[in-house]
Amino acid sequence: MALDRWIALIFITFCCAYGYLAFFTMDQLLPPFMQRNPVWPSTFPKVLSILGVIVGLIVLLGLEKQTDASEPSATEINYRRLHEYKLGQALMLLGLMVAYALALRPVGFLLGTTLFLIAGSAVLGERKWHIMIPVAMIATGCVWYLVQQVLGIFLRPFPFFMGI
């Protein structure tokens, strides 16, 4: 089964779960005075879940005739040959983003961002440390200055043990 149909199947399952919540759990919490309204908080989700299942089934069963899938061009991604691409790098960068998200508060903006930028280019195969480190530090400093001083949004600059 092609990936788009798997996604359709997952979508239908999701719509069923969503529909279950809408049909069977939401209305019990509704105060009696609101029950006299013609439209309830669950009305729209109910309609959506039914529509979603219908459209999902159309994709899943291939009822809409597909145009013949041509081989993607060199710049497009063919997921069937995903292993031929730089999947490792992509996954590592995603991991790096998660790590950045978790570390941003405790480590502080300046250190966290500098490390993120250096690690990011290192993951991509860059090894010219004498360029990477100054570039990352200057860029971090500029962004911090712009966000904090010009836009006036607070970003904790230093690690948690340094107080601010």
Partner 1 sequence: MLEGIMIGLSAAFSIQNLLMVIAGCLIGTFIGMLPGLGPMSIIAIMIPVAITLGDPTAALILLAGVYYGAIFGGSTSSILLNAPGVAGTVATSFDGYPMARKGQAGKALTIAAVASFAGGTIGAILLMIFAPALSSVALLFHSAEYFALMVVGLSAIAAFAGTGQVAKALMMTILGLILATVGEGALFNMPRFTLGLMDLQSGISFITLAMAMFALPEAMFLVLNPARGASGAEAGSGKITNLRFSREEAKAMAPVIGRQSVQGFFIGVLPGAGATIASFLGYAVERNIAKGEEQAEFGKGSVKGLAAPETANNAACTGSFVPLLTLGIPGSGTTAILLGALIALNVTPGPRLMTDTPEVFWAVIISMFIGNLVLLILNLPLIPYIAKILAIPRNYLIPFILFFTLMGAYIGQNNATELLILVGLGVMATILRFADYPLAPLLIGFILGTMLEDNFARSMQLYRGLDFVIERPMTLGLLVLALLLVLLPSYRARRARKRAEGVADGD
Of residues 82 through 101, those in contact with partner 1 by CB under 8 A are 82, 85-87, 89-90, 93-94, 97-98, 100-101
Q: Is the Cβ–Cβ distance between 157 and 110 less than 8 Å? A: yes
Among 63, 149, 163, 164, binds partner 1 (CB under 8 A): 63
Instruction: Restricting to residues 103-122, name those near partner 1 by CB under 8 A.
Output: 104-105, 113, 116-117, 119-121
Query: What tokens were used for 44?
Result: 């729209």
* 153 is a site residue for partner 1 (CB under 8 A): yes
Among 7, 133, 138, 142, binds partner 1 (CB under 8 A): 7
Whole-number minimum distance, CB 160 to partner 1, in Å? 13
Q: How many CB atoms lie within 10 A of CB 28?
A: 6
149 binds partner 1, rule: CB under 8 A: no
Number of residues counted as binding partner 1 (CB under 8 A): 71
Relative orientation angle of helices 109-123 and 129-145, to the nearest 10 degrees: 140
Which is closer to partner 1, CB of 64 or CB of 71? 64
137 binds partner 1 (CB under 8 A): no
Exactly one of 28, 33, 35, 125 binds partner 1 (CB under 8 A); that residue is: 125
DSSP per-residue string spanning 56-124: HHHHHTT-SPPPPPPPPPTTS--GGGGGGS-HHHHHHHHHHHHHHHHHHHHH-HHHHHHHHHHHHHHHT
Dihedral of CA atoms 105, 109, 110, 112 in degrees, nearest 10, equals 60
Give the shortest CB-119-to-partner 1 separation in angstroms.
8
Calculate the alpha carbon distances from 152 to 5, 113, 140, 147, 164 in Å. Answer: 47, 18, 16, 6, 16
Q: Write out the binding residues for partner 1, residues 8-47 only, by CB under 8 A.
A: 8, 11, 15, 18, 21, 26, 29, 34, 37-39, 41, 43-45
